[in-house]
Structure 1
Amino acid sequence: MKKKSKYNRGTRHEDYWLFGGVDRTTKQWFGVVTFGDRTKPTLLALIKKHIRPGTHIISDKFGSHVSTNEQHTLANNDLLAGMRYTHSWVNHSENFVNPRNGAHTQQIEGVWEVRIKQYIKAMRGVRKERIPAFLDEYLWRSWYFASGAKGKKYFKGLILGIRHKYGQ
């Protein structure tokens, strides 16, 4: 994700990368922000930390995810050995949905475009250093309070969110 200046004027902004995913069964999603570093080792570390072993991963065909050789994917990467991931991807320069296997990234992109970016725009932006905390709060609210919980459920959601973020 890159914040663009209009007409190439104004302050240049450092790129940041939102790495996220959606559980297509529960519809819960997560997002992690990393600044500047979009390398394969960074991506693989995020996958190991945030995605359960045995998960089927669907992504776009970004250089950190898939090489030009279609046999070299996240599923058979040496750094993820033993994690039992499977991997499908879509090449957005050709299709929005992979015609061979139906893979698409529309769900997570919709979450980012419709929910997060609109909320950031309504607040007239978020300072770069506050993006991770903003994302944590947004995730916390969407995971634990989407059902209109009240009272003890709010507190339980807060405790679960802290445990999820910082471990037990």
Structure 2
Amino acid sequence: MIADGIAGSSRTLSRMAKLLREVCVSALNRLKERGMRIGGRHRFVVVDESKFAHKRKYHRGRCGNTWRRKRTWVFGMLEVNGHSRRPILRLVKNRSRRTLLRHIRRHVRTNACIVTDEWRAYKNQLSQYGYRQFSVCHKQNFVNPENNAHTQHIERAWQTYKNQIWRLRGNRTPQSLATHLKMIEWYYWLGNRHRNGVLGRLVHDLKKLQK
């Protein structure tokens, strides 16, 4: 973009990227106002938690007040519908039962099928809230031999999300990590579902913001 004369410097490119992220986050916030709920007929939800920590290249440089120092957990709820995926990603201070169940009940429709590991926060807990729960014990199997339940969908998704954020060096602070998690949600909920692709959705959101 600098060679083509679209931007005069890397600083300008950074400002452009920041503005585009704000456009996408605004579009996602409008979607949240209407409700972001997953699960339903012919689809299931896989839930899991993962640590997102900023890493220093070759373990050099000062850490500063980075995300690695505190509140490192991200709770993910991934809807699987054939080849379609829709994630909901939330920063959490801990993995307690109260915290995780609150997010599940807020974002997953009642009577949905939920696949989990056997983390004690939701082990044998979801049926009392109207969900159909299938679990796998990773100490014994990666796939439950009785019902074929597994969490590999979200395990692969974690790797993809972390690689994306690592390339952007975007998890140095809680604020930057939260923004990049929203960008991931925007892509899967809005960007790749537009008839004209991600660029078409971005133009659509720019027009909405100008009204």
Classify the TM-score, shorter chain. Answer: 0.7 to 0.9
Asked whether the equivalents of residues 114 and 133 of structure 2 are also in contact (C-alpha less than 8 Å), the reply is yes
Q: Paired residue for 1:165? A: none
Residue 124 in 1 paired to residue 197 in 2? no
SS, match of residue 149 in structure 2: coil
Structure 1 residue 5: Cα displacement: 6.9
| CA distance in structure 1 between the partners assigned to 2:93 and 2:190 by the alignment | 31
Residues 40/50 of structure 1: CA separation in 2 closer, same or farther (3 Å cut): same
> Any stretches of 5+ residues in structure 1 without a counterpart?
67-71, 163-168
Residue 23 in 1 paired to residue 68 in 2? no
Mapping 1:126-141, distance limit 5 Å: 126=171, 127-141=173-187
Map Cα deviations across residues 58-117 of structure 1 (whole Å, 9 max, x no partner): 011111011xxxxx33112xxx2xxx211011111111101111110000111111x211
Structure 1 residue 152: Cα displacement: 6.8
> Any stretches of 5+ residues in structure 2 without a counterpart?
1-49
Mapping 1:33-112, distance limit 5 Å: 33-66=90-123, 72-76=124-128, 80=129, 84-112=130-158
Q: Answer 1 or 2: higher relative contact order, Cα 8 Å, separation at least 6.
A: 2
| CA distance in structure 1 between the partners assigned to 2:175 and 2:205 by the alignment | 28
Structure 1 residue 14: Cα displacement: 1.9
Residues 75/158 of structure 1: CA separation in 2 closer, same or farther (3 Å cut): farther
Amino acid at match of 1:112: W
Find the structure with the greater CA-based Rg: 2
Structure 1 residue 151: Cα displacement: 4.4
Question: Once superposed, what is the RMSD of the aligned Cα atoms?
Answer: 3.1
Q: Paired residue for 1:155? A: 204
Q: Paired residue for 1:69? A: none
| CA distance in structure 1 between the partners assigned to 2:199 and 2:185 by the alignment | 18
Structure 1 residue 28: Cα displacement: 2.6
How high is the sequence identity, in percent, across the aligned residues?
Answer: 28
Asked whether the equivalents of residues 74 and 86 of structure 1 are also in contact (C-alpha less than 8 Å), the reply is yes
Moved more, 116-125 or 143-152: 143-152
Residues 44/157 of structure 1: CA separation in 2 closer, same or farther (3 Å cut): farther
Structure with greater helix share of residues: 2
Asked whether the equivalents of residues 14 and 35 of structure 1 are also in contact (C-alpha less than 8 Å), the reply is no
Query: Aligned residues, how many?
Result: 147
| CA distance in structure 1 between the partners assigned to 2:168 and 2:55 by the alignment | 18
| TM-score in terms of structure 1 length | 0.72
Residues 100/152 of structure 1: CA separation in 2 closer, same or farther (3 Å cut): closer
SS, match of residue 111 in structure 2: coil
